[in-house]
Amino acid sequence: MIKSKVVQLAVCIILSAIVFSCEKEIEMKLDESNSYVINSLFSADSIMSFDITESKSVLSNRFDYDTITNAEVIVTKNGSPISLNQQGGKYFSSDVIEAGATYAIEAKISGLTLSAETKIPSKVQNLSIDTSSAIIGDYGFREKKIRITFDDGEGKSYYKVSLVQKSISYYTDYNGIETSSENEYNEYFTVDGSRLDLINSTDDFGTVFGDDFYYNELYFSDLGFENQTINLVISFPIYSYEYSYEDKFYSVIVSKVSEDYLLYNQTKNQQQYTSGDPFAQPTLVYSNINNGLGIFAGISSEFVTF
């Protein structure tokens, strides 16, 4: 018995010596330098807005970012400068963004010049929808089917489809005054478009329910439909109960997005989805800012409300 314990002790000592002799200290050098960030996602027929901030070191324990207010900023439209207003560190264009135009930004900060350029896609042509309802299952809701049709233009195009529900509730407040409140959010939907060149990663823009995948946003290219009419059918559940004090409206929004816009949203959503997962492959969010970080990109949208 004593001999057995002596042998076990000897083995432990030998193994410990082997483990510790294999240890090697590696000196890691972390890049603690900061970068400047421009973030601006804008849409045709709307005002452009953006801010410039300073990124944080990976070792920083701060939750906020320093806003840069003394940068020399120029934004051009088709090569000509546009007027900007600055309020509280945020920049706004004086005029709305124009579909089909090319916009560029240049910001000089502490001897460093940040720049980016993007072209706003042309608008979707001849957008139309056709709706129908069908009773499904015993779960107390109907399924609304929407056939979406629009014409694709020349050249490579990327599209985003979303479905927005807007509800207006009417009620009497504590003072006996009749009033109303509005609520708006993206509706989840399935898609019947097997021929579409879907770009969505299965986990990035929706959720699984039963055997179906419900999209929050649907991204696809015009591969196979160049300069043709594009048809797709989306479906979403409408619950059987309706409130007499509530009005509901739905809007189908079809947007043409730039490739920069697409890549940024793809990688941003992938990073958010894998955040906190030690086994997931890290995702670097796409940036098109030269000498800096961030995004400068736009979309053009058309919608139909029913």
Cα 254 to its chain centre, rounded Å, is 15
- How large is the average pLDDT for residues 186-194? 83
The predicted pLDDT at position 103 comes to 98
- How large is the average pLDDT for residues 205-210? 54
Phi, psi of 140 (to 5 degrees): 80, 20
Count of Cβ atoms closer than 10 Å to residue 61 Cβ: 6
Helices (H), 212-289: 259-274
Please tell me which residue, 228 or 245, carries the higher pLDDT value.
Answer: 228
- How large is the average pLDDT for residues 277-306? 91
Please tell me which residue, 296 or 132, carries the higher pLDDT value.
Answer: 296
Q: Which domains does the chain have, with CATH numbers?
A: 30-121+271-300 (2.60.40), 125-257 (2.60.40)
The predicted pLDDT at position 224 comes to 87
Q: Band of the pLDDT at 17, cuts 50, 70, 90?
A: low
- Kindly tell me if the per-residue pLDDT of 64 is higher than 80: no
The predicted pLDDT at position 167 comes to 87
Q: Rounded to an integer, what distance in angstroms lies between the CA atom of residue 220 and that of residue 222? A: 7
- How large is the average pLDDT for residues 82-88? 93
- How large is the average pLDDT for residues 108-125? 95
Give 91-105 as a DSSP string.
Answer: EEEEEEB-TT-EEEE
Please tell me which residue, 19 or 191, carries the higher pLDDT value.
Answer: 191
Percent of the chain with pLDDT over 90: 49
Q: Give the tokens for residue 272.
A: 């958010």
- How large is the average pLDDT for residues 142-170? 91
Which of 142-146, 236-240, 262-266 is the most confident on average?
Answer: 262-266
What count of residues does the chain have?
A: 306
Listed range (12-16, 28-32, 48-52, 128-132) with the worst mean pLDDT: 28-32
- Kindly tell me if the per-residue pLDDT of 126 is higher than 50: yes
What is the Cα Rg of the chain in Å? 27
The predicted pLDDT at position 109 comes to 94
Q: pTM value?
A: 0.79
